[in-house]
Each structure stands twice: as C-alpha cells, then as structure tokens.
Amino acid sequence: MGFKKGRAARAAAERAAVANSKPLNIRHDCTSMVTYDAPNGSSYTIDVELMIQRNPSKGTSRNVHRHRGHVGRWTMWQYEAERAEGRNYTHSKTTLIQYPKEVCFALEDRYQALRALQAKASELGAPVMDRQRATDAWRLRLDRMSPQLLREVFRQNEAFEQAPPKDLEDDFDAPGLAPPPALDAALPGPRVLTG
C-alpha cells in the first residue's frame, strides 16, 4: 500500500499550485532594478548593482547572490532568508532561496546590461553615460504611457493650449521689411523647384 498524504499536506500542495499559477508581473527600469509581484502578494524590487532585494511595503531588505553554473550556461539568482538556528544540521541563521525562473532571466538580463553599461562608461566617460541613462529612462516612461495619457499630459501644458498670437509670416508683410529668404535654399537635401 502506498503512502497517502494527510489532509494538511494536500491543502498546502493545492495552495502552492494556485500560487505558482499567478503571473509574476516582472518589470524593470532601464538601469539595474527589477520589480516583480511574488505569489505571496508582496511586490519586491531587486537592485542587481547593489545586490539587494527590497520590499517597499514593509521596508525590509535582503542580500541577493548570483551563482554561475558549473558548465557556465546558466546563472542562479538567490536571496537570503532567515530560518531557525541549527535546522538541517547547520548553525547558520540564513539560507539561500532561488528566485523563480522568469525572475532569474530578468535579473540576468539587467546584470548583463549593467556590465555593458559600465564597460561603455569606462570607455566614454561617466557624464556621457549619465546622459544616456537619463535618456533611456525617459524613453521607457514615454513608451509605457498610453497615447490617451500622453495627449492628456500635453493638454495640461499651457504652452500647447495657446495658439500663437499671430502668424510669423505676417511680420514680413509689413512695409519696409525684406521678404523672408526661401526656406528650401536653407535646408539641406532635395529641393523643390517652384515655378
């Protein structure tokens, strides 16, 4: 006769299956931060540069570790968790727990991007890279905005609400002023000949 699990073990297995089926909602900024929603309902922010995981709602932080595999084809990302001292015949109060596979892929992606950025910074200089980071961060924010939200942002700006007081070409029609130079002659590229 085979081993039959108890009611509590079956209930725990069902809860784990439901928790693992929830999407993790993994996202990152263009720098070194990855944010994901864990199956336990908490949201975690992981900084691969500082190797720290933060829980913004609780204000707690944990150390993060990156381990390369023996063959070098995979990388394991883990965080430190506390446990009862002396458990499993060790005297350590911490244990390393691996992130879900999708989170590991996102962390490795940000880690490799950060390494490439650091190599580029040493080559080009820090100010150039700071400008690049700022540009990438704004581009990411604009990409995440819906077209409707983007229109609303520009409608709130006073400069876009007001029409120019008068047409600029009207100034050149005033007596005593020279006509405007042809714009086609000033612009590089193919010219349109008018007749």
Is the distance from CB of 184 to CB of 195 less than 8 angstroms? no
Report the range of poorest mean pLDDT among 64-78, 108-122, 155-169: 155-169
pLDDT digits (tens, 9 = 90+) for 163-186: 555 555 554 454 554 555 554 454
Residue 157: the pLDDT is 62
- Please give the biggest Cα pair distance in the chain: 109
Assigned token pair, 81: 């968790």
List all residues 6 or more positions away from 94 whose beta carbon is below 8 Å from its beta carbon.
80, 81, 82, 83
Question: Tens of pLDDT along 25-49?
Answer: 888 877 788 999 988 888 999 999 9
Q: What is the pLDDT of residue 21?
A: 65
Nearest to 68 by CA among 78, 60, 57, 55: 78
Top-ranked range on mean pLDDT: pick from 24-28, 68-72, 159-163, 167-171: 24-28
